[in-house]
Chains A and B, each alone.
Chain A
Amino acid sequence: MSKSLSGVSRRDVIKTVAGVSFFPTVAFSKSSQKRESAKVVIVGGGYGGITAAKYLKKENPNLSVILVEERPFFMSCPLSNHFLAGLMELTPLCFAYNVLEVKHGVKIIRDKVLAVELDKRAVRTSQGYIHYDFLILSPGIDYDIEDKPFYTETLVYYPPAFKPGSEHIYLKRLLSEFEGGDIVITVPPPPYRCPPAPYERAALIADMIKRNKLKAHLYFIDANERPLINSEGFMSAYYDLYKDVATYITSAEVKDVDVRKRVVKTSHGDFRFDIANIIPPMKANNLLASAGLLKKREKWVRVNPLTFETHVENVFVIGDACVSYLPKSGYAAHSEGKVVAKILSARLKGKEVKEELLQMVCYAMVSDKEAIMTETSFKYEREKGRFIPIHREDNERKESTAKRYIEWAKGLWRDMFG
């Protein structure tokens, strides 16, 4: 891309949200509850919800575990850029939920949760109330567009494809029918779901333009100064491979999108497009705000950073919806699901569970055959209440890393859908 490589500044220490002190920092300090007939309700059948459900049942076969999910089947956002770029078919990214019922005895209710009523200890669906003793909320994100009405139209015409389902299907159609012209991708400021995703998508779309020898140009408009992860790796790929077909515009805020005139207005000028991928800012799923788990102007749910429990006893929030030292991703949600399953299992037996710090493993394609990756482990400074990330970035694009990427995803799916 036509932009010089900027120096990468020292990574800041991740500070937990102010106010963490009112969460107990031991794994659990509540009175032990041995309950044979306890009922666990899990909202959301994504990476977090499915993993929590499966591990709860594995550890406690007689426990009643109910998973409520509105979509008919699971579609993975991780590796969906492969699908969009034509590197993978959609089917391997999709899984039926029935395997959880058949193999593990999880009750799956295919319905939308309309409300979480904490005072009633129940969630409301179109079929009525489902009462819980323990609640795990893993409902993912919603787009934060209320104060920017132009996003309402872009959601329909140029979907972000950051929520599984029809958005990816439609975006894929746009991309496969694209024969030339200008493509615009816009990236919001963090936090948003999956920090490397837009950078990977830009690389793969630029690669697609090159591979198909299209008379086209990609305008990659980023609200951020540089890629949020593997900055070096992305930037060198953009510069080495795509500078003729793409332009990377940084620190550019999207001010308006006119879907009829097909123009994006930014703080760095206006950009015309033939097709676009407009990625709006994100926030926790609306359910959480209406449940009262978000304070005014908060976008993500604050939880005990080690146990993911909210300020409400036995109510947990995992995955992208919560504030965590882990970056928002399917891999993190999966790990958090396992942790909460462990904590709940111990709580049911009146036991304690050792605190554990999770780690991140994150891959990103930078061309149709090569990928870069980062592995991050964390140190916890309890007195200061902060988590220090230790990043091991591999910014050298390699084919072997791309192959590891697929194995990384397949491992997760094996663990979830066995």
Chain B
Amino acid sequence: MSISRRDLFKLVGVGALTLGVPSMGFSAAERKKAEAMLPPPKGNRVVICGGGWAGLTVAKYLKKENPNIDVVVIEKRPNFFSCPISNEWLAGLVNLDFISHDYNQPASKYGYRFVNAVVVGIERDKKRVYTNHGYIEYNYLVLAPGIRYNYDAWFKGDKDMASYTRINYPAAFIPGSEHLALKRKIWEFEEGDFVITVPPGAYRCPPAPYERAAMIAYVFKKNNVKGRVVILDPKEDIAPKGPGFRAAYEQLYLGIVEYVPKAQIKEVDPIKKVIKTTAGDFKFADANLVPPHQAGELVWMADLIAKDKDGKPTGWADQDPITFQAKADPNVFLVGDVIGGVPYPKSGHMGNSQGKIVAKIIASRIAGKDVKPTLPDNTCYSMVNGDPQEAIVINVTYDYNDKEKKIVPKPKVINERSTDLAKATYEWAKSMYKDMFS
């Protein structure tokens, strides 16, 4: 059927506006009109952009260190949705309200201000954050906006294609409606290949695509669906917890999960439903198309993205690996998935772990004291079986090698899936939620 691409997009209702990205050029005229939302700060205001794992942790621990610090969290979503454990929810193993949390309560409890607004501009020289409700001045700024999708890597600036792909084959790596749409796809899937693309390079939550594949395969098995889950991975092998995932695929989902390594994406055609890779062409009946990840919009807005030796943006923030301070601006801290130049995986646990460190650092700065920052740690559970529920885990601590000036990871992996680890998964989640919300 030959529909012109223009017509197809007209039918589908695609447009640049649907990408939901605040305009990068928040004009000077608009800035002039904006009003202050809060009185000017008194030397101790920390504005945190992003109410995720990192942002909320910084907020709470700042107040714990020093209740007199003026802490403001700006977050655009109405409630917190946890990406960790969302794969279990996709599989129907947990309820939606287990992974959803209210923002107002913890703000009240810990004493920080929660502002439900969209950040539309950042002026670091004026130390101002502009939102859709006015601006807030800061003494210290924490940028923890999470990731953004880099559809340009696939579609080279074609916003229509990017929109079409996001609407029809949501990545579900950013909280919002994408996970809901993906869940519906998984449970309504009839037959054929369901493709998951693993992003290249650094991306949010390294084991997530493999866990997702396992959970989708579990649903297909449960529903007797004649479908396959095809994982297209640019890497040579599954990492982390490769043996654990592979064992699950072979023992639990033989014939259902197909893992394709060394599959770098050459072309994505969401209309013809074909993905061309260095490992072959793959047709799909439906898909979870995950483009490469980059630091969230606000880091670009603040002009704090690192550049590689050729002067091209790396896609991640340019911050000190130990203090999380922006190299270009001592009053700005970057924390969570946005950071670059460190061997840390990007995860919720990491965001929380880093958040505590950054809170200490900023609190000390405000108090005029010195502090020796510690290094964060990471723990990552992955559910590989739905019935009985069984998980695998990786735990990484880090040491600083003074001589080589390097952060050295010390991983501990348990690749043997067990029901005990599944229980531990939920205990970990509950303790995290408790830390941030209760």
Q: Is B242 an interface residue (CB 8 A)?
A: no
Give the Cβ gap from B309 to chain A, nearest Cβ, in Å.
36
**In the docked arrangement, what's the CA distance between A130 and B167, Å?**
21
Identify B18's interface contact among A61, A89, A109, A128, CB under 8 A: A109
Q: Is A156 an interface residue (CB 8 A)?
A: yes
Is there contact, CB below 8 Å, between B11 and A89? no
Selecting from A91-99, A132-140, A225-233, A313-321, the interface stretch reads A91-99
Q: Is A31 an interface residue (CB 8 A)?
A: no
User: Contacts A72-B177, A107-B17 hold; do A89 and B104 have CB atoms under 8 A apart?
Assistant: no
Is there contact, CB below 8 Å, between A111 and B104? no
Interface SS of A by simple majority: mixed
Q: Is A167 an interface residue (CB 8 A)?
A: yes
Q: Is A165 an interface residue (CB 8 A)?
A: yes
On chain B, the residues within 8 Å of A87 by CB distance are none
**In the docked arrangement, what's the CA distance between A345 and B152, Å?**
38
Q: Is B77 an interface residue (CB 8 A)?
A: yes
Is there contact, CB below 8 Å, between B180 and A96? yes
Q: 0/1 per residue, B97-140, Cβ < 8 Å to A?
A: 10011111100100000000010100000000001110000000
Give the Cβ gap from A285 to chain B, nearest Cβ, in Å.
15
Q: Is B345 an interface residue (CB 8 A)?
A: no
Is there contact, CB below 8 Å, between B103 and A166? yes
Q: Is B372 an interface residue (CB 8 A)?
A: no
On chain A, the residues within 8 Å of B108 by CB distance are 156-157
User: Contacts A106-B13, A107-B13 hold; do A172 and B97 have CB atoms under 8 A apart?
Assistant: yes
> Considering the complex, which residues of chain B in the window 150-189 have a beta carbon less than 8 Å from any beta carbon of chain A?
167-168, 170, 175-178, 180-181, 183-184
Q: Is B12 an interface residue (CB 8 A)?
A: yes
Q: Is A208 an interface residue (CB 8 A)?
A: no
Is there contact, CB below 8 Å, between A166 and B13? no
Is there contact, CB below 8 Å, between A126 and B177? no
Is there contact, CB below 8 Å, between A72 and B167? no
On chain A, the residues within 8 Å of B120 by CB distance are 126
On chain A, the residues within 8 Å of B20 by CB distance are 109-111
Chain A's closest residue to B437 (CB) is A173
**In the docked arrangement, what's the CA distance between A167 and B116, Å?**
14
Q: Is B95 an interface residue (CB 8 A)?
A: yes
Q: 0/1 per residue, B8-49, Cβ < 8 Å to A?
A: 001111110110101100000000000000000000000000
Chain A's closest residue to B79 (CB) is A166
Q: 0/1 per residue, A65-97, Cβ < 8 Å to B?
A: 110001111000000000100000111001111
Give the Cβ gap from A127 to chain B, nearest Cβ, in Å.
5
On chain B, the residues within 8 Å of A114 by CB distance are 132-133
Is there contact, CB below 8 Å, between A107 and B177? no
User: Contacts A112-B118, A170-B104, A170-B105 hold; do A165 and B95 have CB atoms under 8 A apart?
Assistant: no
Is there contact, CB below 8 Å, between B10 and A108? no
**In the docked arrangement, what's the CA distance between A239 and B108, Å?**
38
Give the Cβ gap from A274 to chain B, nearest Cβ, in Å.
16
User: Contacts A128-B23, A170-B105 hold; do A73 and B11 have CB atoms under 8 A apart?
Assistant: no
Q: Is A102 an interface residue (CB 8 A)?
A: yes
**In the docked arrangement, what's the CA distance between A155 and B107, Å?**
13
Chain B's closest residue to A165 (CB) is B78
Is there contact, CB below 8 Å, between A94 and B96? yes
Q: Is A105 an interface residue (CB 8 A)?
A: yes
Chain B's closest residue to A84 (CB) is B97
Q: Is A36 an interface residue (CB 8 A)?
A: no
Q: Is A359 an interface residue (CB 8 A)?
A: no
Is there contact, CB below 8 Å, between B132 and A126? yes
Give the Cβ gap from B232 to chain A, nearest Cβ, in Å.
23
On chain A, the residues within 8 Å of B167 by CB distance are 98, 101-102
> Considering the complex, which residues of chain B in the window 171-213 have a beta carbon less than 8 Å from any beta carbon of chain A?
175-178, 180-181, 183-184
> Considering the complex, which residues of chain A in the window 152-174 have a beta carbon less than 8 Å from any beta carbon of chain B?
155-157, 159, 165-167, 169-170, 172-173
On chain B, the residues within 8 Å of A159 by CB distance are 102, 104
Is there contact, CB below 8 Å, between A96 and B96? no
Q: Is A125 an interface residue (CB 8 A)?
A: yes
Give the Cβ gap from B275 to chain A, nearest Cβ, in Å.
19
Is there contact, CB below 8 Å, between A105 and B184? no
**In the docked arrangement, what's the CA distance between A165 and B14, Å?**
26
On chain B, the residues within 8 Å of A70 by CB distance are 78
On chain B, the residues within 8 Å of A102 by CB distance are 12, 167-168
On chain B, the residues within 8 Å of A167 by CB distance are 102
Give the Cβ gap from A155 to chain B, nearest Cβ, in Å.
8
Is there contact, CB below 8 Å, between B177 and A105? no
**In the docked arrangement, what's the CA distance between A114 and B35, Å?**
14
On chain A, the residues within 8 Å of B183 by CB distance are 91
On chain B, the residues within 8 Å of A126 by CB distance are 22, 118, 120, 131-132
On chain B, the residues within 8 Å of A107 by CB distance are 13-15, 17-18
Give the Cβ gap from B198 to chain A, nearest Cβ, in Å.
23
On chain A, the residues within 8 Å of B176 by CB distance are 72-73, 110
**In the docked arrangement, what's the CA distance between A297 and B384, Å?**
59
Identify A101's interface contact among B18, B77, B81, B178, CB under 8 A: B18
**In the docked arrangement, what's the CA distance between A345 and B380, Å?**
54
Is there contact, CB below 8 Å, between A157 and B105? yes
Is there contact, CB below 8 Å, between A166 and B104? yes
User: Contacts A96-B181, A108-B18, A111-B118 hold; do A101 and B105 have CB atoms under 8 A apart?
Assistant: no
Is there contact, CB below 8 Å, between A173 and B95? no
Give the Cβ gap from A367 to chain B, nearest Cβ, in Å.
22
Give the Cβ gap from B76 to chain A, nearest Cβ, in Å.
9
Give the Cβ gap from A351 to chain B, nearest Cβ, in Å.
24
> Considering the complex, which residues of chain B in the window 238-280 have a beta carbon less than 8 Å from any beta carbon of chain A?
none
User: Contacts A96-B180, A111-B118, A126-B132 hold; do A91 and B13 have CB atoms under 8 A apart?
Assistant: no
Chain A's closest residue to B20 (CB) is A110
Is there contact, CB below 8 Å, between B77 and A105? no
Give the Cβ gap from B48 to chain A, nearest Cβ, in Å.
18
**In the docked arrangement, what's the CA distance between A72 and B100, Å?**
13
**In the docked arrangement, what's the CA distance between A111 and B21, Å?**
9
Give the Cβ gap from B438 to chain A, nearest Cβ, in Å.
9
**In the docked arrangement, what's the CA distance between A345 and B13, Å?**
18
**In the docked arrangement, what's the CA distance between A165 and B97, Å?**
11
Q: 0/1 per residue, B56-83, Cβ < 8 Å to A?
A: 0000000000000000000001111100
Give the Cβ gap from A114 to chain B, nearest Cβ, in Å.
6
Identify A170's interface contact among B23, B96, B102, B184, CB under 8 A: B102
Is there contact, CB below 8 Å, between B96 and A112? no
On chain B, the residues within 8 Å of A66 by CB distance are 17
Q: Report which residue of A70, A96, A99 has the largest number of chain B beta carbons within 10 angstroms of its beta carbon.
A: A96
Is there contact, CB below 8 Å, between A61 and B79? no
On chain A, the residues within 8 Å of B96 by CB distance are 89-91, 94
Identify A96's interface contact among B11, B100, B184, CB under 8 A: B184
Is there contact, CB below 8 Å, between A108 and B13? yes
On chain A, the residues within 8 Å of B11 by CB distance are 61, 105
Chain A's closest residue to B119 (CB) is A126
Given contacts A91-B95, A98-B177, A126-B22, 18 further A-B contacts (CB under 8 A): A73-B176, A98-B167, A99-B184, A101-B13, A102-B12, A104-B13, A105-B10, A106-B13, A110-B18, A112-B132, A126-B131, A126-B132, A165-B79, A166-B100, A167-B102, A169-B101, A169-B102, A172-B97
15 examples of A-B residue contacts, CB within 8 angstroms: A72-B78, A72-B175, A90-B96, A94-B96, A96-B177, A96-B178, A107-B18, A110-B20, A166-B102, A167-B102, A169-B97, A169-B100, A169-B102, A172-B97, A173-B102
Show the binding face of B for A, using Cβ within 8 Å.
Answer: 10-15, 17-18, 20, 22-23, 77-81, 89, 95-97, 100-105, 108, 118, 120, 131-133, 167-168, 170, 175-178, 180-181, 183-184
Closest 3 CB pairs of A and B: A166-B79, A126-B132, A170-B102
